[in-house]
Structures are given as structure tokens and as C-alpha cells.
Structure 1
Amino acid sequence: MMIEEERHVDRGYVASSVRLADGAITALGWVLGHLRRGPVLVCPPDLKSLASAEEVRQATAIVVIGAHSGLKPWISAFRPEPLTSAVISVSDCLVSDPVVWTAMESFTDVINSGTGLAHPCDRALVTEGLLDLRRSGHPFDPDELMAAALRLNWRGTAAWDLRVLATQLNAGCGAGMR
């Protein structure tokens, strides 16, 4: 993780640039998690940093500077209020296939919300469920799954992990994950 510039402004924390490298999620959570209550600014934003920012308990708001269409899962899940005239349109339907939405609700009911997909049993259950969906003719979109997970109150990093898993399964990397 690299924070290019930081300063305290009226007891608020400003990071002009937060970049995450693989494995730096904990560092971001630790750095931002020990701050006073207030808004968290994410600039430039990416899905992984937004997922981590969702877990900052002291955050009273998440302000995204430089929003772009690559953030659609997060925007779809939370429908943030745009502070500029630039609006990123998202579908009213969070998940296009109702069977996939039902599967997401089922996953939410059975996995440990505290660990998300970090626990091998929960990861295996969700992996097999996603493979079953695909085998029965219900393809899934990783961005839609992430948006659904966020809407269903999954931890931000668990929603990110689900998106990564779904991307791997769609790319054919899931054959050895059964």
C-alpha cells in the first residue's frame, strides 16, 4: 500500500492517493481503522480499495473521488449520491438472474459473515454452489455477485473475494477447486 500524501484537516483524514497491492488489505484496514470517526476519501478508487474501505468501522461516509464505470458493483450495491453532474448509470436490477440472486441469499445464510470466504468450508460451499449454478444453465457475472454480496451485508473484502473467485471460475480455473 502506498499513501502518496496525507494530512489532517479539521480532525478528518485525507489520503490523496491510496493504492493497494495484493495482500495489503490488512494494512489499509489497520491504517484507516485507527483513525477518528469521519469520512474516508478514496482517490483514485478501485473496487479492492472500496471493499476495504467498507470495513473501516470509524467511517461515517465513503467519498469516492474520480468515480468511473469500473466501480459499478459498488455503485449498484449502495447507490451513492453523486456530488457532481457526472453520474454513472447502473441497472435497477442488481442481479440479472433471479436464480443467482436466490443462491446469493442462500450463501449469505450459511457462510460465516465474520470470515467470509477465508474459511475453507465456506469457500468450498460457495465454489460448489457457483459451479452448480453454471452447470444448470445459470451463468453468473462476478461484478453482479460482488454487488449482491455488498447489498446483503457481506464484509467488503469477502465481497471482493467472491468477485475474484467468480472470475477464476468463469476463466476455467475452478475445475481444480471442486
Structure 2
Amino acid sequence: MMIEEVRQLDRAYVASSVRLADGVVAALGWALARAQGQWAGVNLSVGTVRVVPGPVVICTPDLKSLAEAEEIRQATAIVVVGAHPGLKAWISAFRPERLAGAVIPVPDRVVDDPDVWAAMETFTDLINSGTGLTHPCDRSLVTDGLLELRRAGHTFDPDELMAAAFRLNWRGTAAWDLRVLASELDAGERSRRSRAATAPTS
């Protein structure tokens, strides 16, 4: 069962269309305002680090690094510099403030299909929040559920599921693991269709 503490963090981003140095300045100003004006409480990272309590500024992360940053318990706010469409799962889930640069578009709803959302809520109620999808039983449960959705004609993509996991307060790495699992299922389905299309007919 998911028992993760619900964290209400301020989040923001500077789009990658902004020059990196200018983006860092904008992000640091935003972070400083949330650190009571104390520079010692602002954490600047090119990757993912364990930090002192305060806002975290993350430069040019990929989605996996950003998911890991969501697990930094000392973080009181998160701002991304160099945000790009590859981070849309995070943006869709948390609707961060855009500080500068082009808007990164995301759907109005995190998950469009209500049955897929209901399945995500069920997964959230059933899996162990401490281990996420690393436990074989939890991974099997989610895999079976996703395959059943597919058999019933429902569609979803890995980013959509990751966004839903974020919204439902999954740990960052667990949300990433769900995205990886969904991608693997997609690849398996494409392979099956390819084999079926090239199989000789009698």
C-alpha cells in the first residue's frame, strides 16, 4: 500500500530555449525567494545530489534524474533549468510555474481514459510504497493490470502513466520504473505485431 508522505512543493521550470546562464539566474532568483533570502539554503546541481534543506535547482536533467530529484526529502521546492519536452510527464503531473522560455505543452488531463486512471488508483492502493515495482509481486500485479487494460481496448503511453504515478504520490523512482515497464510492454506489443505481419500465410 502506498504510504508515502504527501509533499506540497513549489515547482518551476525555465525552458531550454533560454540561454543556460540566463536560465540559472532566473531559477536562482525563484529559489532564493523560497529560501527566505538565505543563499546557504539553495542547492544547485547539474545532476542529482543529496542536499541541505531548501529549494533545489536542477540544470538540464533527463526524466530519470528529475524523478530521482523528486525523492530528495530535504527539498522544499524544485526548479528545473533547461526543461524540454522529454520532461512532459513531470510537467503534466505537477503543472510547475514557467519562469522563462517557451511553454512546454501537456494535455489538460494527466490521464485521458477514466478506466486507466482508475487502474492507477488501484495500483496505488495495492503496491508497497517502500519497494515500488522492484518487488516481483508488485511488478507482476501492475504488469497484469496493464495487459488487461490493453486487452480491453484501452490505450496509454509510458509518459502518461508516469505522470499519473507522480500525481498519485508515487516515489520518483517508482514512477520511473512504471514508465520503463510500460515502454517494455509497448516494445513487446510492437514486436508481436511485426511478427504477425510477416508470418507466412497458408
**Cα distance between partner residues in 2 of 1:11 and 1:109:** 35
2:106 match: 90
Query: Aligned match of 1:150 in 159, 166, 170?
Result: 166
Q: Pairwise CA RMSD of aligned residues?
A: 1.8
* Amino acid across the alignment from 1:108: T
Match of 2:40 in 1: 10
- State which drifts further: 35-44 or 119-128: 35-44
Q: Which has the larger radius of gyration?
A: 2
Q: Note the residue ranges of structure 1 that are not aligned, 5 or more in a row.
A: 1-8, 19-27
Tell me the residue number matched to 1:47: 63
For residues 106-145 of structure 1, the aligned pairs below 5 Å read 106-145=122-161
Q: SS in structure 1 opposite 2:106?
A: coil
- The Cα shift of 1:86 comes to 2.3
Q: Residues 108, 11 of structure 1: CA spacing in aligned structure 2 closer, same or farther, 3 A cutoff? A: closer
Where does structure 2 lack aligned partners over 5 or more consecutive residues?
Answer: 1-38, 192-202
2:196 is matched with none
Name the count of aligned residue pairs.
153
Q: Which residue of the partner structure matches residue 160 of structure 1? A: 176
Q: Aligned AA for 1:132?
A: E
Q: Deviations over 1:100-129 (max 9, x none)?
A: 111001100100112110111000000010
The alpha-carbon deviation at position 87 of structure 1 amounts to: 1.5
SS at match of 1:96: coil
Task: Tell me, in whole angstroms, the C-alpha distance in 2 between the residues paired with 1:82 and 1:42.
Answer: 14
Q: TM-score, normalised by structure 1?
A: 0.81
Query: Identity over aligned residues, as a percent?
Result: 70
Q: Give the letter for the 2:156 counterpart.
A: F
**Quick one: distance in 2 between partners of 1:11 and 1:138?**
46
Letter in 1 for 2:40: D
Moved over 2 A (4+): 9-13
Measured in 2, the distance between the counterparts of 1:70 and 1:104 equals 22
Task: Give the TM-score of the pair, scaled to structure 2.
Answer: 0.72
Residue in structure 1 matching 2:88, options 72, 87, 97: 72
